[in-house]
Amino acid sequence: MQKLVIHGGKPLCGEINISGAKNAALPALCASLLTNDTLKLRNIPDLKDVTTMMNLLKQMGVTILTNDPSEMELSAAHLTNPTAPYEMVKTMRAAILVLGPLLAHKGEAIISLPGGCAIGLRPVDQHIKGLQAMGAEIKIEHGYIHAKATKLVGTRIVMDIVTVTGTENLMMAACLASGLTILENAAREPEIIDLAQCLIKMGANIEGAGTDVITIQGVEALHGCMHDVMPDRIETGTFLTAVTASSGEIHLKGARADMLDAVIDKLQEAGAIIHSGENWIHLTMNQPPKSVSLRTAPYPAFPTDMQAQFMTLNSVANGTAIITETIFENRFMHVQELRRMNAEITVEGNTAIVHGIPKLDGANVMATDLRASASLVIAGLVAQGETVIDRIYHLDRGYERIEQKLVHLGARIARIN
């Protein structure tokens, strides 16, 4: 099993490109199931989750052509197997995103209940409730969702909780439903907007994406298009946080500051000087970081996917920070690993109290999930001595060539077997 070895203590400085967003690429890939025409996608990140989704679509009968790792053409014209088996779904919760498109376009879907990171319960009941309201017949047997619908019918759906994948699934399904669908309490994330823009290019009639009420007027058929996936805001935030923690300087190309207001506000509170343009962000950190308290919440508030990275930042900051996690009930698993590096963190329920210290100590640690692994990389970069991170396959699910990018910034980091 591969590991990362990091020798920390050196400020990160330089310029890198931000990759396409994993959480926008995955639903865009699933959108190919809504048409028999060819969907062309660009700025696709080379990630384990993307490869898993591509393999899932291929086994359904989707044809995928890739001349460049970041560009692909998908055609579901000869789809023969509307099934997502457990073996391909167990490692990636986003596989549930094939349910809505398959049901809307093919009238049938058999989907294994999904797996993914062990950060807490992420039920798919809102997906099922919404599709049933649109007329689908759904049963759950032996760990599989069995769904059928002759024709989905538009309706008003009020989601009990804000769910990104639930919003995406129902929005895709509604594109081919008859009549008007209204999604209330919809997720507002930029990835929702990116998917809506792709679907609109395919001929969908969608309004309100990015707000908590999305309306979709169903159409008879969708067609192919060309779509560029948005930049990854969490990768962007991760590098900005790493440079802030190391008191360095970075210029990010292909990055968008308008999708990271909450994160950028907190980095500036920590002492970072940040400038940005339409597709770039520049950060300079000329002082040791100051502690920043935060509370995670659905977009546009502070993202849960940046909580672990800020935990590390606060571990080496001046002062004491209080971090409250409101999204997932088991997303402090990185705390025990940071403690192995001498971090002073106390957990009380869904709140962590972090007392900053001048330096972390290098140690052997283990990644427990995707964003926890990123927090440990940052910890290794600012620690004294050598840090060895095990189970880095989590990193490959969400960060494209992270060690190469860090080496480009001057980090002493290497992957070993």
- Identify the active-site residue in 30, 117, 175, 198: 117
Residue 3: both structure tokens together? 């590991």
Neighbours of 287 (CB within 10 A): 11
Q: How far apart are CA 43 and CA 267, in angstroms?
A: 27
DSSP 8-state code for residue 231: B
**Residue 199: in which H helix or E strand, if any?**
helix 190-201
Give me the sheet containing 273-277, strands edge to edge: 13-17, 249-253, 280-284, 273-277
Q: Which residues lie closer than 8 Å to 369 by C-beta, 6 or more apart?
A: 117, 118, 119, 331, 333, 334, 394
- Buried/exposed 311-330: b ≥16 CB within 10 Å, e otherwise: bbbbbbbeeebebebbbbee
State the Cα–Cα distance between residues 57 and 77, nearest whole angstrom.
12
117 classed as catalytic? yes
Closest C-alpha to 244, from 281, 276, 285, 274: 285
Catalytic residues: 117
